[in-house]
């Protein structure tokens, strides 16, 4: 019996020793791993529940969101170069409403003659276009086909809702540009935009067309469409029926529609790259199909500078001659004039380029360059394509014979 009790006590001591050592050895690795991950050891931890690394990161994020509201961070992510450009240029974009007097006819029955007659009438017609302010004193640029010398009244509406009457300082049909002056009694300083250098335009860069398509400016804010520069230096030969000169035009796929004419084409810096002027529909419709064109800013500044100074635009050179179109009345007055479309030379300056290349009074110019002259306006449009220092080829008729000459263009020299 005593031997059995001794064996039992020995086993109890052995099993008890194993129980006391196993928890101690199993706790060591756990304590070591927590300290390795940067958490406080059990000795250094404050009283209370433990905090994991993920919970700490979440607490930091919550604190940051409390410092910056969620709406503010979203607004910041929505702002882009385009929205900043619109904010910068938008206040200077205006809507232009023009009233013109158009002449027409209506048929009236005359009881005395017992027949109908066409009676001339005049009626007021309103049209809507776009423009933009280029100076703090209220100078506005737009297209000539929006506001011209035929305009009876011109009203300019700003994006802030104010409306002002404007006067025409000058317009140029060939370049299709007009310069207006806002008339304000309070001498208000107007928001305005700056021009970009159109020679630095890159194909593929952002373009923003702003204006008043279809008269939607009534809510006080211009419409904004976005695209890219599709091409540069697109030339359109003067049309004898519409002799406006469209050269070095900017092509864009930013949507331009009726009413956008005269509005600015803006780059991502909020600067004016050009003046939105016309679209090419390809005969498919009257709406936008991805081909819009704007007059480049450098050309605009050149034309506007002359309009501001003198109200009209002149050539870079002086051809040294005066001419008039060949008309029926002119042929009846001078029977020897060839019965062709052309320019009848009436005066030649002896110190000018025309005299130097052999042109004489009485000659009829029928071609400028490779183009057949069909009217005086068409001739001026063709001559606009030449600059000082270039050579202009002319075809003329004298005494029934055709001659060809080359005129070197230069500034006028005062003759004797």
Residues with active-site annotation: 145, 176, 261
Residue 262 gets the label, from left (phi > 0), alpha (psi -120 to 50) or beta, of: left
Tokens coding 227: 């695209």
225 class by beta-carbon count within 10 Å (0-12 exposed, 13-18 middle, 19+ buried): buried
Radius of gyration of the chain (CA): 40
Question: Cβ(395)–Cβ(379) under 8 Å?
Answer: no
Q: Residue 182 forms beta bridges with which residues?
A: 166
Which residues fall within 8 angstroms of residue 190, CB to CB, at 6 or more apart?
Answer: 92, 133, 135, 136, 137, 138, 158, 182
d(CA 138, CA 326): 43
Which residues fall within 8 angstroms of residue 337, CB to CB, at 6 or more apart?
Answer: 326, 330, 331, 344, 364
Question: Cβ(339)–Cβ(325) under 8 Å?
Answer: no
Tokens coding 77: 């992510």
Which residues fall within 8 angstroms of residue 416, CB to CB, at 6 or more apart?
Answer: 350, 351
Kindly tell me the sign of the dihedral angle through the C-alpha atoms of 241, 246, 251, 254.
negative
Place of tokens 């100078």: 139
d(CA 148, CA 171): 6
- Best CA proximity match to 407, nearest among 395, 393, 397, 396: 393
| Neighbour count for residue 199 (Cβ, 10 Å) | 10
């Amino acid at each position: 019996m005593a031997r059995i009790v001794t064996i039992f006590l020995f086993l109890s001591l052995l099993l008890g020793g194993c129980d006391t050592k196993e928890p101690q050895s199993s706790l060591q690795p756990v304590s070591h791993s927590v300290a390795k991950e940067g958490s406080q050891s059990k000795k250094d931890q404050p009283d209370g529940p433990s905090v994991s690394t993920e919970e700490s990161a979440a607490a930091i994020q919550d604190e940051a969101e409390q410092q910056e509201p969620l709406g503010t961070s979203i607004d910041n992510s929505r702002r882009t170069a385009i929205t900043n450009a619109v904010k910068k240029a938008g206040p200077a974009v205006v809507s232009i409403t023009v009233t013109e007097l158009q002449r027409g006819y209506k048929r009236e029955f005359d009881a005395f003659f017992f027949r109908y007659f066409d009676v001339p009438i005049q009626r007021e017609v309103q049209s809507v276009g776009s423009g933009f302010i280029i100076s703090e004193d209220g100078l506005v640029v737009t297209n000539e086909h929006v506001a011209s010398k035929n305009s009876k009244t011109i009203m300019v509406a700003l994006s802030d809702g104010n409306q002002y009457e404007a006067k025409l300082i000058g317009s140029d049909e060939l370049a299709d540009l007009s310069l207006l002056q806002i008339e304000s009694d309070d001498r208000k300083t107007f928001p305005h935009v700056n021009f970009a250098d159109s020679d630095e335009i890159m194909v593929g860069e952002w373009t923003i067309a702003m204006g008043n398509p279809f008269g939607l400016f009534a809510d006080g804010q211009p419409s904004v469409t976005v695209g890219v520069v599709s091409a540069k230096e697109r030339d359109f030969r003067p049309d004898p029926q519409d002799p406006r000169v469209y050269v070095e035009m900017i092509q864009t796929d930013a949507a331009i529609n009726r009413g956008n004419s005269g509005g600015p084409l803006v780059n991502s810096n909020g600067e004016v790259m050009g003046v939105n002027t016309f679209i090419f529909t390809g005969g498919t419709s009257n709406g936008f199909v991805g081909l819009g064109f704007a007059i480049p800013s450098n050309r605009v500044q050149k034309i506007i500078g002359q309009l501001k100074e003198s109200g009209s635009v002149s050539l870079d050179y002086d051809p040294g001659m005066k001419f008039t179109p060949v008309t029926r009345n002119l042929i009846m007055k001078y029977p020897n004039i060839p019965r062709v479309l052309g320019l009848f030379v009436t005066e030649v300056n002896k110190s000018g380029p025309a005299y130097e290349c052999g042109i004489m009074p009485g000659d009829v110019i029928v071609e400028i360059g490779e183009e057949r002259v069909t009217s005086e306006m068409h001739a001026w449009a063709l001559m606009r394509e030449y600059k000082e220092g270039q050579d202009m080829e002319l075809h003329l008729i004298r005494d029934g014979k055709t001659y060809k000459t080359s005129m070197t263009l230069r500034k006028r020299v005062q003759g004797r």
